[in-house]
Each structure stands twice: as C-alpha cells, then as structure tokens.
C-alpha cells in the first residue's frame, strides 16, 4: 500500500472487521464507535469519540466488511472540489491534475487508488456522484430514506443519502448488499432497453460520448421533459443552505472554518422562510415531473456533469462552480435513486453517465447499469 496516498485519503486508520473481509473507506461524517467524527473541520477537532456505530456501519460489519479508515472530505460536506487544507486534500488517482470532487473525495480517491474495495460517502447535492464522476468510478445515490442516516452528520437532512462508490458495477452491487440487508440484486434484462433522455445543456463532447454509448447499447430512446430541472437545481441549493445553516451556523464567525465554507455558510444565513417555502413547492412539482418522465421508460439517462472537472490549480486559485452540480443536485431534491457510470475518457478527461430510476428501484437501476457497463469492460 502506498502510505503517502493512504495518508492523503484517510484522516485516521481503523481496524474493524474480519481479516480477509471486503475493505471499506468511511467518510468522516459517519460515526464509527471509538473514533471522533470531525466532518473534515477544525470546528470538530475536539469532538469526542462516537459511542456507537452509525446504522450503515453496523450493517457493513455485520455483512463481514472490514473498515480500514475514515476519509477526508470537503469541509462539513459543504463543497464540491474536495480541497481541504485542515483535514487534507485527497488526490485524484485517475486524473491527477483534476480535483477529486466533493464532498466524498477521500472515499472516492481511496477506491480509485486501489486502497479499498469500496468507499462509503454521503450525497446531499451530488457528493457521491460527483467524486465518482471525477475519479472514474461507479457511484450510487439511493432513494432518499432507503439507507438509514442514524449516526450521520448533520443529523437532520431532507436531501442527504448514504451511498457507495466502487471501481466496477459488480462491486457497487456487492457494496449495496452489504449496506442494505433489504437489497436484492436483479439480473440484467435481455429485453428492449428503454431510456428517457432529458433535454439538458452540457459540453458537446460529453453529450456525443454518451450518445455513442447509448447507440451501441441498442436502447430505444425517447426525449422526455423535465421543465423544472433548473428550478430544482436552485431549490436544492436553497434547501441545503437552510439545513446547513441550522446545523452549522453557530460556527460562521468562529474562525474555525476554511474561508470557502465560511463564506458559503454566511451566504446561507440569508435564506428566508419564503424562499424555503418556494423551494418546497418546486420539490413537489419536480418530483411529479420525474415520476411522469419515468412512466414509460426503464430509466432516465443524462450526463453526470455538464462539463469537465476543474483543475487543482484552478481550485487553489479560488475558482468555484456550483453549477457543476446542475444535473445531479435536482435528484436530491426529488429523492429518486441515481447511478453514475464512468465512460471512456475524452481528451484525457473523465466522462460519466447518470441513470435515474424509480423510487425504491435501486436493484433494477443497478441491473441496467450492469447491462450498459459490460460491453465497455467495466
């Protein structure tokens, strides 16, 4: 094991589970008994050790998993680059010049570096799917509420989901069976594959790459309408701002936060009750639109990212791009499961396909992912 890469991905090593068990990296917003949960922030530097495992950690250990460490992340899970000057910034092993993606950056990097079989992250506005896309991995945001968030920070969230990262589709399915005792894998169908294609704005190179993969799959595609997608993106930001202000607002002027997170948290303080009420109305409307779009197809297919990830140098220079989550954040608002698959790179940069399924339909969505990934050797 490369100790330098391990140290960059992990905030601390653990030794839990049987020798020979499938290995896991756990994001440091998720409780492991006997270890503090610091959420990548100096604000929690003196946090006491957790008294019990998070529910999902208990499930993994019960399934024979071996947990090797807690991973770094974008501070307070409130950012998308993974840059963290207090807890440490994980590399992007697949694309070293690019940021690893946030906020579950350490868990993704550990999988991409081959340090562990699986990574465990959380996804409030794309924070599993984005680092998966950046690092050339498979990632899944389950249906909201399917995986217990007991023992996950922040304690209350109407958007956040615990989800796995893996280097292969088969691995991702194995990870889900360990996380969720109710998950029953399905065999890929050999029937006609029907995919709905929302009309979205994205880099033409990315759209062309996805189009080639879908054409080669033989899928029947239908253009579907999600007229509130842009509104849902904005509403998702409103909700996360309101909920993170409630969770972390006390630290806004403490001097304990990194400058990017402190600035974002202070902006979140201005979220009004009227804005939050409007966001909830958009949530209901967009959820109905997604359900309607899914009615005649097996899944929706669209890019994970609208463009290519920024470089580490750009992020270090202060570049931000919340719109990088334009195509992923809306499905946190609606609560639908979303799976991302790495496609062959374009010009040395990552390309990722996102599949969105019916609520509770993770098994069918993963079987669809297997069907698309197999011809690509993934």
Three-state SS for 189-232 is CCCCCEEEEECCCCCHHHHHHHHHHHHHHCCEEEEECCCCHHHH
Of 105, 127, 157, 352, the catalytic one is: 127
Work out the average pLDDT over 334-351: 98
Please say if 150 is a catalytic residue.
no
Euclidean distance between the first and final Cα of the chain, in Å? 24
Instruction: Tell me where in the chain the CATH 3.90.1300.10 domain(s) lie.
Output: 3-179, 194-376
The tens digit of pLDDT for each residue in 26-52 reads 999 999 999 999 999 999 999 999 999
Work out the average pLDDT over 141-157: 98
Query: Tell me, what's the pLDDT at 376?
Result: 83
The tens digit of pLDDT for each residue in 95-111 reads 999 999 999 999 999 99
Give the DSSP H/E element, type plus range, for residue 10: strand 10-16
Work out the average pLDDT over 183-187: 97
Query: Tell me, what's the pLDDT at 194?
Result: 98
Whether 148 and 56 have beta carbons less than 8 Å apart is answered as yes
Structure tokens at 221: 């595609």
Query: Tell me, what's the pLDDT at 378?
Result: 74
CATH number of 3-179: 3.90.1300.10
Please give the CATH superfamily to which domain 194-376 belongs.
Amidase signature (AS) domain (3.90.1300.10)
Q: At 328, is the secondary structure helix, strand, or coil?
A: coil
Query: Tell me, what's the pLDDT at 16?
Result: 98
> What is the Cα–Cα distance from 39 to 357, expressed in whole angstroms?
30
Please say if 266 is a catalytic residue.
no
The tens digit of pLDDT for each residue in 247-276 reads 999 999 999 999 999 999 999 999 999 999
Work out the average pLDDT over 346-369: 98
Please say if 359 is a catalytic residue.
no
- Angle, in degrees to the nearest 10, between helices 229-248 and 259-268: 100
User: How many percent of the chain have pLDDT more than 90?
Assistant: 97
Work out the average pLDDT over 161-180: 98
Query: Tell me, what's the pLDDT at 1?
Result: 60
The tens digit of pLDDT for each residue in 284-296 reads 999 999 999 999 9
Whether 355 and 299 have beta carbons less than 8 Å apart is answered as yes
Compute the mean pLDDT over every residue in the chain, rounded to the nearest whole number: 97
The tens digit of pLDDT for each residue in 300-340 reads 999 999 999 999 999 999 998 999 999 999 999 999 999 99
Query: Tell me, what's the pLDDT at 190?
Result: 87
Query: Tell me, what's the pLDDT at 2?
Result: 80
Of 41, 59, 103, 228, the catalytic one is: 103
Work out the average pLDDT over 56-79: 98
Query: Tell me, what's the pLDDT at 377?
Result: 79
């Amino acid at each position: 094991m490369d100790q330098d890469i391990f140290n960059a991905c992990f905030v601390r090593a653990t030794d839990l589970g049987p020798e020979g068990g499938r290995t896991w990296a756990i994001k440091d917003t998720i409780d492991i008994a006997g270890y503090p949960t610091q959420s990548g922030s100096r604000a929690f530097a003196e946090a006491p050790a957790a008294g019990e495992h998070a529910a999902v950690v208990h499930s993994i250990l019960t399934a024979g998993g071996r947990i090797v460490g807690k991973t770094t992340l974008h501070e307070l899970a409130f950012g998308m680059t993974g840059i963290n000057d207090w807890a440490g910034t994980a590399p992007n092993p697949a694309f070293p010049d690019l940021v690893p993606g946030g906020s579950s950056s350490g868990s993704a990097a550990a999988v991409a570096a081959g340090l562990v079989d699986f990574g465990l992250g959380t996804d409030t506005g794309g924070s599993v799917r984005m680092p998966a896309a950046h690092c050339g991995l498979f990632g899944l945001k389950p249906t909201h509420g399917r995986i217990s968030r007991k023992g996950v920070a922040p304690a209350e969230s109407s958007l956040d989901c615990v989800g796995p990262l893996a280097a292969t589709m088969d691995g991702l399915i194995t990870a889900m069976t360990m996380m969720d005792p109710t998950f029953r894998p399905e065999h890929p169908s050999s029937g006609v594959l029907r995919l709905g294609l929302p009309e979205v704005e994205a880099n033409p190179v990315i759209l062309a790459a996805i189009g080639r993969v879908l054409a080669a799959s033989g899928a029947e595609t239908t253009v579907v309408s999600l007229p509130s997608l842009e509104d849902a993106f904005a509403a998702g930001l409103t909700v996360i701002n309101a909920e993170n202000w409630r969770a972390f607002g006390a630290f806004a002027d403490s001097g304990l936060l990194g400058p990017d997170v402190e600035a974002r948290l202070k902006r979140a303080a201005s979220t009004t009750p009227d804005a939050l009420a409007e966001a909830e109305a958009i949530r209901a409307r967009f959820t109905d639109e997604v359900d309607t779009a899914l009615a005649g197809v097996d899944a929706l297919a669209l890019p994970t990212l609208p463009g290519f990830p920024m470089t580490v140098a750009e992020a270090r220079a202060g570049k931000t791009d919340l719109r990088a989550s334009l195509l992923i954040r809306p499905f946190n608002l609606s609560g639908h499961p979303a799976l991302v698959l790495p496609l062959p790179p374009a010009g040395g940069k990552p390309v990722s396909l996102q599949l969105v399924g019916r609520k509770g339909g993770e098994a069918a969505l993963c079987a669809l992912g297997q069907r698309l990934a197999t011809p690509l050797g993934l």
